[in-house]
Structure 1
Amino acid sequence: MTTPGFRPTHVVPPHGLPAWEAPDPARPTVPLDPLLPVQLVDRRGDWGYIRCANGWGAWVDGRLLVAVPDDPPAGGETDGIADPRPLLARVEQALADYRAAVEDLAAGGLDGEAFETRTEGLRIGLVVDGASMWLYDPQEGRWLYGDGRRLSTYATDRSVDGVDDGARASDRLVAPEGER
């Protein structure tokens, strides 16, 4: 469930990020998943307080967050993905696969190890805010912004032409599969 008013300002770096309950290294909490969209709410020196789409918050090393553009990509800056529906269908299928695994686990048909095996490699991400959408494409390793008509890359977890992973899409765009 997405918290009303959630608008990502950053994504977690491609290799994940440790998190803390307070700006104190002695109080660790659950680490953040790679490329998770977050909202930077507060800063205290190098510490950044982030909030996730589900309302959960934590303190992180704010210097490591990857900023997303203040505004969605300009019209016409598409990555050859004119129609978001095929990617949305893959998200729906991944969610259905995960839901089925959870149901089997809850019914006792799977143990924890079998659940992990069944869901290994399954990655989805979706934030919908009115007409705006942020969608993770695991096949291309990137987060996309969509307005219902087209998608544009705004963060990627892959290196392209020697550029470091996690660069902002406004700094570089990733060519769609088949155009590399």
Structure 2
Amino acid sequence: MSLNENKELTISGTLSFDDFKKYNYHVKKKAELYYFILITLIFLLLLNLFSPDLSLGYTVFLALLVAVIVELIRWAIRYLRIKKEFTSDRMIKNEIIYTISPDGIQQQRNRTNVHIDWKDILFIKEHKELFRIHLSKNKAIVLPKGFFPSEEDLHTFKEIISQNIN
């Protein structure tokens, strides 16, 4: 929200369930594609072994149909897990204030202050609706673009990142 000469940016917001779902989608989308391909190949093999008299087109159709059904079930289970995780985490529903500067990222929530040096960040991934700032392979700060009040603040954030992350 505020910006000074030292290229320090302060933004704030509360993570919504929709933001949390989008984050989880982006983290898992590559694995989901691999699972779908793997399930399809397994069912192709099983159908070919147990019903060799089926035509190739029908076998592929059945394998894809089963894979889609399995994936829909997996998505439903994943949605329930994400919803349970979000609703059970009281801290995630509190407003977070981020101060981004050349020194790092300061994260403030209630009475908790955390400073993250740029060297402690593994990588940053930008998506259409959010940024994932990974501190490890499985731990990330979710920074929705809606936290940025203006395009200028978003541009400043990207500038600070480009100057501090290789």
Asked which structure has the greater RCO (Cα within 8 Å, sep 6+), the reply is 2
TM bin, normalised by shorter chain, reads: under 0.3
- Greater helix share, 1 or 2? 2
- Greater strand share, 1 or 2? 1
TM-score by length of 2: 0.26
